[in-house]
Structure 1
Amino acid sequence: MRPVAIFLCTALGTLLAAMGPVATASAGGTASPPAQESSEDSRHRTITSSETYMPLPPMTATVQANHRAQGLLQIEAGLEISDNRLRRRVEMYMPRLRNAYLSALTIYTGMQYRYGDVPDADRIAQILQEATDITLGQEGAEVLIGMIIIHGD
């Protein structure tokens, strides 16, 4: 297997050399390397063009039935924050917010959600909004849900 890999690398190098500097630059050769996105930005898909939207990291909670794990609830959401001062506060409180969200979702999946049913998006949005307002100590950051998925076993 190793000789094939060396051959392919040699053949690619020969092909790029024959095509000239444009091919070398587009293939990431000696020209400047392409700009790379940060890993956090590449994980979030843009669901709005709003400048005041702040995506949250994906949230998950275990779905239980009959005293054992049956699946996983996955939520993608974000916050709509028009006040720049509140936005800075949210960035500072993000570990606390994440803890509040995961605690609220764990209670939802453990006590309010029945495995096999469709998750109640309105209820999930309400508990996430309550967790946001309580953690920040004020209103102004509106929770927007982008996606809710149940992964079953």
Structure 2
Amino acid sequence: MNRRDILAAIALLSAVPGMAAASGKKAEKKKGGGESYIQIPSLTATAIRPSGKRGVFTVETGIDVPDGALRNRAELNLPRLRAAYVQVVQTYAAGLSPTSAPNADFLARELQRETDRVLGRKGARLLLGTLLLN
């Protein structure tokens, strides 16, 4: 056997475990935040900055839904949830004073109320991430 045949055999043997893993079932990737967590894409609204110019108010959020049936309902209603959240954030940002900081407690309470309204019952917990006024 020459050196090329040996290298080809080694390359083939090293590829066999990778091919076996690819042909089997793929392991599901764990989502960030756990299996019951549903991440909502960033919500944005226009706000007035202290300089008087327009700024962007960004809110990152997600919901934790331990109940499987309610989680399925939440996943199906993600567009409605997002629309309700954007409406709340836009209304809040429009009334936000240019010199005041965002009130996370008020915003979390209003977003939780919308979560319960859209899903039709309690059981999903809203988790508020970053509030950024730029």
The answer, yes or no, to whether TM exceeds 0.5 is yes
Question: Unaligned 5+ residue runs, structure 1?
Answer: 1-20, 22-31, 33-44
Q: CA deviation at 1:58?
A: 0.7
Structure 1 residue ranges, 4+ long, deviating more than 3 angstroms after superposition: none
- C-alpha separation in 2, matches of 1:120 and 1:108: 10
Q: Could you tell me the percent identity over the aligned residues?
A: 34
Measured at CA, do residues 97 and 69 of structure 1 come closer, stay the same or move farther in structure 2, by a change above 3 Å? farther
Q: What pairs with 1:1-153 in structure 2 (closer than 5 Å)?
A: 46=32, 48=33, 50-64=34-48, 70-111=54-95, 113-151=96-134
Q: CA deviation at 1:69?
A: 5.8
TM-score by length of 2: 0.70
Give deviations 1:75-127, integer Å, cap 9, x for gaps. 1111011001111101111111111001111111112x212311101011011
Higher relative contact order (CA 8 A, sep 6+): 2
TM-score by length of 1: 0.62
SS class of match (1:115): coil
SS class of match (1:140): coil
Q: CA deviation at 1:51?
A: 2.7
Measured at CA, do residues 63 and 89 of structure 1 come closer, stay the same or move farther in structure 2, by a change above 3 Å? same
Question: Does structure 2 retain, via aligned residues, the 8 Å contact 1:70–1:115?
Answer: no
Number of matched residues?
106
Q: CA deviation at 1:146?
A: 1.4
Question: Unaligned 5+ residue runs, structure 2?
Answer: 1-7, 9-18, 20-30
> What's the RMSD between the two structures over aligned residues?
2.4
Question: Does structure 2 retain, via aligned residues, the 8 Å contact 1:54–1:79?
Answer: yes
